[in-house]
Structure 1
Amino acid sequence: MSAGSPEERLAELGLALPDVVPPVAAYLPAVRTGDYVYTSGQIPVVDGKLGVTGKVGAEVSAEEAKELARICALNAMAALKSVVGDLSKVVRIVKVVGFVASAPDFTGQPVVVNGASELLGEVFGDAGRHARSAVGVASLPLDAPVEVELIAEVR
């Protein structure tokens, strides 16, 4: 892992933080309370559009869903940054919750949510290692295949 700020590590990965995805209902993208920031669930919106819809294990492959979880994590980092100003204020990613819209027989939710977890590790190093839940659900907003939220400790 190279040195530098989380934003520099994102750039090394060829990634940039997107604009914060505007809420589709009555909530905020992220909220700070004390030393913690809680993000709302982030779906894999890119340039204002949800490019892939459907259930993982049916219309969406596990490999594709893992990439979508990575996009969700990028969107969650953008929401986090919108509250704290810059990602170097992150002390630790404490918890990640990933929801996977799953076909009835799909059981690979942990592999899908690894897309988010692995990116957080690449960006934050040891501070990106976190507790996690990977949950299969019947459906998600806008028929998104994946949704990811996180809790971060910040300074």
Structure 2
Amino acid sequence: MSAVEEKLAELGLRLPGVAAPIASYVPAVRTGSYVYTSGQLPMVEGKLGVTGKVGAEVTPEEAKDLARICALNALAAVKSVIGDLDKVVRVVKVVGFVASAPDFTGQPGVINGASELLGEVLGAKGVHARSAVGAAALPLDAPVEVEIQVEIAD
């Protein structure tokens, strides 16, 4: 087991299987020393447990927890390409999308769920640049979607 997966276990988490794409794309792609993930929804065992807009049907606290799940799914996608998460040099960028009610402006707090998980699991390697964007709707009516870009060592 990698040190990253040991840290996940210490946090009471486990790396899930890679979420199956819902359209014509792959979960992650490597180019040179970087891996880019596709947007990851908060899927658990192949299912989206919560749907709706943040600030309406979904609370910001629920959405923050969902962003953690998205980040965990993104790590699984990275592992599927590189085989060992200990090869991650650093998370370079996180982009988070929040399906938002018209008056909801707390997108950064929601995406903190993903950022905080990456920091807990990867330590200093998890510190990253980030965008948190409000959206009218996301695939499958998901409240949150997260993609990451990581630098890796061979």
Provide TM-score, normalisation by structure 2: 0.98
Residue 82 of structure 2 corresponds to residue 46 of structure 1: no
2:9 aligned partner: 11
Distance in 1, matches of 2:103 and 2:56, equals 9
Matching residue within 90, 99, 102 for 2:100:
102
2:150 aligned partner: 152
Distance in 2, matches of 1:60 and 1:43, equals 15
| Consecutive unaligned residues in structure 2, runs of 5 or more | none
2:67 aligned partner: 69
> What amino acid is aligned across from residue 53 of structure 2 in structure 1?
K
Q: Per-residue deviation at 1:106?
A: 0.2
> What amino acid is aligned across from residue 98 of structure 1 in structure 2?
G
Structure 1 residue ranges (4+ consecutive) displaced by more than 4 angstroms after TM superposition:
none
1:23 aligned partner: 21
Question: How many residues get paired?
Answer: 152
Q: What's the % identity of the aligned pairs?
A: 76
Distance in 2, matches of 1:136 and 1:107, equals 8
Q: Per-residue deviation at 1:77?
A: 0.3
1:83 aligned partner: 81
Distance in 1, matches of 2:134 and 2:119, equals 23
Distance in 1, matches of 2:104 and 2:41, equals 19
Helix, strand or coil at the partner of 1:53: coil
Distance in 2, matches of 1:123 and 1:86, equals 14
Matching residue within 119, 123, 139 for 1:125:
123
Distance in 2, matches of 1:90 and 1:21, equals 20
Distance in 1, matches of 2:60 and 2:85, equals 29
Distance in 1, matches of 2:114 and 2:40, equals 11
Helix, strand or coil at the partner of 1:80: helix
Distance in 2, matches of 1:13 and 1:84, equals 23
Distance in 1, matches of 2:111 and 2:6, equals 24
